């Protein structure tokens, strides 16, 4: 457990640097004001500023792409579609099973009437025709 604060000369309390030194122990210096690291351990760093720099950091940290914004949006869209299909099953009385619990996907609109079922199917067919599936 790292020490959060450091007492200088027994009275002046300040944030202690949260970095680990080469010995494996916590750095003994006070952190820079408003930061969690001392100057030696990157407290003065502003991080990447340019778009090229930010992109380089993203590429360096990307491991598998499961949590990219695009992957999350795709999963959310599929989840909303699944929820809509469950709604349709209940509206046309194919099932009387319990509803799926939990948070609904982003973009999910509940389907409660036959007209909404017709509209959803028409929109889905239109999307499939546009995608050429
Ligand atoms: Zn330090």
pLDDT tens per residue across span 2-17: 888 877 766 778 889 9
Place of tokens 């099953």: 89
Residue positions counted in the chain: 133
Residue 96, classed as helix, strand or coil, is coil
Q: How far apart are CA 75 and CA 57, in angstroms?
A: 25
CA 124 / ligand 1 centre spacing (Å): 57
d(CA 110, CA 131): 24
Residue 35 Cα to ligand 1 midpoint, Å, equals 11
Backbone angles phi, psi at 62, to 5 degrees: -70, 125
Q: In whole angstroms, what is the distance from residue 75 CA to residue 70 CA?
A: 9
Name the token pair of 103.
Answer: 């948070």
Over range 64-93, report the average pLDDT. 94
What's the 46 CA to ligand 1 centre distance in angstroms? 16
CA of 73 to the centre of ligand 1 (A): 39
pLDDT tens, position by position, 7-59: 776 677 888 999 999 999 999 999 999 999 999 999 999 999 999 999 999 99
Ligand 1 mean position, distance from CA 61 (Å): 23
Q: Distance between CA atoms of 106 and 99, rounded to whole angstroms?
A: 18
The rounded distance, in Å, linking the Cα atoms of 61 and 47 is 14
């Amino acid at each position: 457990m790292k020490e959060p604060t450091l007492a200088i000369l027994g009275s002046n309390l300040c944030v202690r640097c949260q970095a680990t030194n080469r010995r494996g122990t916590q750095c003994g210096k006070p952190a820079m004001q408003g930061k969690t690291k001392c100057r030696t351990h990157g407290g003065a760093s502003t991080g990447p500023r340019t778009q090229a720099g930010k992109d380089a950091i993203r590429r360096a940290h990307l491991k598998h792409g499961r949590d990219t914004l695009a992957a999350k949006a795709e999963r959310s869209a599929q989840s909303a579609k699944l929820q809509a299909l469950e709604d349709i099953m209940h509206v046309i009385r194919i099932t009387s099973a319990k509803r799926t619990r939990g948070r609904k996907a982003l973009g999910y609109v509940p389907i409660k009437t036959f007209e909404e079922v017709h509209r959803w199917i028409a929109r889905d067919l239109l999307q499939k025709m546009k995608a050429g599936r």
